[in-house]
A and B are shown apart, each in its own frame.
Chain A
Amino acid sequence: MTRVNLIHAALLGALGAGLVGCQGNRSDVPPVHLIQNMDFQKRFDPQESNDFFRARDCADEVAAEDAAVAEAVAKGEHPPLVERTCWARAMRPPPFGTVAVGHLKDDDHLHRGRGTDGRLADSLPRAIELSEALMKRGEQRYNIYCQPCHDYTGGGQGIATLRGGGFKIQPPSYHIDRLRAMPLGYFYEVITNGKGTMGSYAAQIPAEDRWAIAVWVRTLQVSRTKGGK
């Protein structure tokens, strides 16, 4: 009698363990916090949402929710559960036109690639010095941000352009006469503001790195005209 019970208990235990799974099993159930302690504090992490600003950021959705609730209440029904599609940012985007201290970007050469005469500059800004380290940095950053489309040598045959049916517009090779003749500042400007179907990379790449990349693009060009080819 007791032996049978023990066997039952063991089987039940094994079944239970089987049902809850093993360590490392895939699951879309959020991790259980067995002891809450102070795991989630009343503060906001980067990129989290904050309901405080919903009335402002999601005015349309909030108005629709309120109307639905008012209607249900008028009919004496339970307020409906509405699925949210709009979330307000805890990190507030600054009001349009705000300039943070030290970010005025008043150095035309460094930030716009233009000399005092307003034309595209063909030299590095004074704050940046041409060195091996700068070129290495440029190569690395180029391979991160440009290579997927423009490929390692600047031929315009990057791997992203060859997949999913191909790009609608193929990036040009850097080794065409028109681009060879462009001043250094032109490449800086294309990275900063984009060009045609190519987007702006100003938000992804800091200004110093954009100059390093421009130097690397020029290096790629030179490698095909002098010595190379």
Chain B
Amino acid sequence: MPAIFPRWTNNIPLVVALAGPVVGAGLVGGVWYFFSPKFTDVGYRPVQPVPFSHKLHAGDMGMDCRYCHNTVERAAHAAIPATQTCMNCHKDLVKTDSPKLKLIRDSYESDQPVPWIRVHQLPDYAYFDHRPHLAAGVGCASCHGRIDQMAVVQMSQPLSMGWCLDCHRDPEPNLRPLDQITNMAWDSALEKYDPKADSARVRAVNPPEHCSGCHR
């Protein structure tokens, strides 16, 4: 009587024993690496409708972030500047008829918003407010990277819950003097800053680690 299983099936247990762990580890590793916001989110760099460059305005010309994102210390949302803000310079003073600024001029005339594409976006169930962070002396660069070197804004941090908590559990290394929050070049390694010894601070910072702090 012929064998029910051909001879090669003898190898199955061996192959499964050898390949199983490899495939399993590959799957786990793949999920760990590719499903992380460090992969899905970091580096997102949409093409904006107007080729506005932070490298030129904030980097080379050294404009303070708050000239344009002027609500950042006053509201949860760090507003994208109104067209009027660009027109302070581009209406009568400089590059007044650059083709790159056509959309800005159109928007100024028609009073329609410029359709800037949003780069950073938390899920709607997470609560974030710029104010307490800036009041505590966390710099823009800690969360947005070296914006002053970006010709096109890109996400440089994953904005994941783990990332928020890493800082909330140990905020001290990320704190800086309160008047340096928009200074992109401020380097904690060089400055040896001690928040506890800073007389401008009225209280110790206390970031929430309980769920309802960020899921309200």
Contact = CB atoms under 8 A, between A and B. Distances in A.
Contact of A27 (B15, B36, B43): B43
Nearest to B8: A1
Given A25-B43, A148-B67, A159-B62, A199 B87 contact: yes
Interface string B57-77: 000111110110010001101
Interface stretch (A122-130, A160-168, A221-229): A160-168
Nearest to B33: A23
B124 A205 contact: no
B124 A41 contact: yes
A30 B41 CA distance: 8
A38 B36 CA distance: 18
A24 B154 CA distance: 10
Contacts of B26: 13
Interface of A: 2, 6, 13, 17, 20, 22-34, 37-41, 43, 45-47, 49, 57-58, 84-87, 89, 140, 143-145, 148-149, 159-161, 163-169, 197-199, 201, 203-206
Given A28-B44, A49-B113, 16 more contacts: A2-B15, A17-B30, A20-B34, A23-B39, A24-B43, A26-B45, A29-B44, A40-B123, A40-B124, A41-B124, A148-B67, A149-B89, A159-B61, A159-B62, A167-B93, A168-B92
Contacts of A168: 92-94, 96
Contacts of A32: 40
Nearest to A160: B61
Which 4 residue pairs of A and B lie closest in terms of their CB atoms, listed nearest first? A39-B123, A41-B124, A197-B92, A144-B64
Contact of B92 (A40, A43, A85, A169): A169
Contacts of A149: 89
A17 B32 CA distance: 13
Given A2-B15, A24-B38, A27-B43, A87 B95 contact: no
B94 A164 contact: yes
Interface of B: 11, 15, 19, 26, 30, 33-47, 60-64, 66-67, 70, 74-75, 77, 79-80, 82, 84-85, 87-89, 91-96, 112-113, 115, 123-125, 154-155, 179
Contacts of A47: 77, 79-80, 113
A144 B123 contact: no
A143 B64 contact: yes
A34 to B, nearest CB: 6
Contact of A166 (B30, B75, B79, B94): B94
Contacts, number: 124
28 contacts: A6-B19, A23-B38, A23-B42, A30-B44, A30-B46, A33-B40, A34-B35, A38-B123, A38-B124, A39-B124, A45-B77, A45-B124, A49-B113, A58-B112, A85-B115, A149-B89, A160-B63, A161-B94, A167-B94, A168-B92, A168-B93, A168-B96, A197-B92, A199-B84, A199-B88, A201-B88, A203-B84, A206-B74
A199 B86 CA distance: 10
Contact of B77 (A46, A140, A199, A201): A46
Nearest to A42: B124
Contacts of B125: 37-39, 41
A2 B8 CA distance: 11
A44 to B, nearest CB: 10
Contact of B44 (A17, A31, A49, A159): A31
A4 to B, nearest CB: 13
